[in-house]
Amino acid sequence: MRWLKVLAIAVAVVIVFFVISSLVHILYLIGVGLLIAAALFAAFKGWEQYKRARERHEERRQQRLQQREERRPRPSIEAPRQQPTGLPIEAPRQQPTGLPPAATPSGFDVDEELARLKRELPDS
């Protein structure tokens, strides 16, 4: 009878060992599963934030391009507008094209210029 008690205690210890080992293994697998789920969740959230950041970057880039286009002067195909004061618009003054500038260092010969102009004009 004494051996039967020792054998029963030994069997109980082995059963408890297997039960505790199984529970620890199950808890270990649950922990690993939670870690994997947390890693996937973090990766998904990171991917979403990355996409949002790229979209914001693209929007800012588009806004900068639009601002540059707005700052750049565009040629108008409409008729020129009159000044709001009602004053006539004056054309910029231009020097006559046939004559040299008035302040030439070598001087200005009127006879030479007259001869040149007579040669250039067609005979009438």
pLDDT (tens digit per residue) in 44-84: 999 999 999 999 999 999 999 988 888 877 666 655 555 55
Q: Count other C-beta atoms under 10 Å from residue 2's C-beta.
A: 6
> Over pLDDT 90: what percentage of the chain?
50
**Residue 55 token pair:** 């979209």
Average pLDDT, the chain: 83
Q: What is the pLDDT of residue 67?
A: 87
User: Would the pLDDT of 85 be above 70?
Assistant: no
Residues above pLDDT 70, as percent of the chain: 72
- In this prediction, residues 6-35 reach a mean pLDDT of 97
* Residue 124 confidence class, pLDDT cut points 50, 70, 90: low
Q: Which residues does 113 contact at the CB level (< 8 Å), separation at least 6?
A: 99
Residue 121 has pLDDT above 90, yes or no: no
Q: Give the three-state DSSP class for 77.
A: coil
pTM of structure: 0.43
Structure tokens at 72: 């750049």
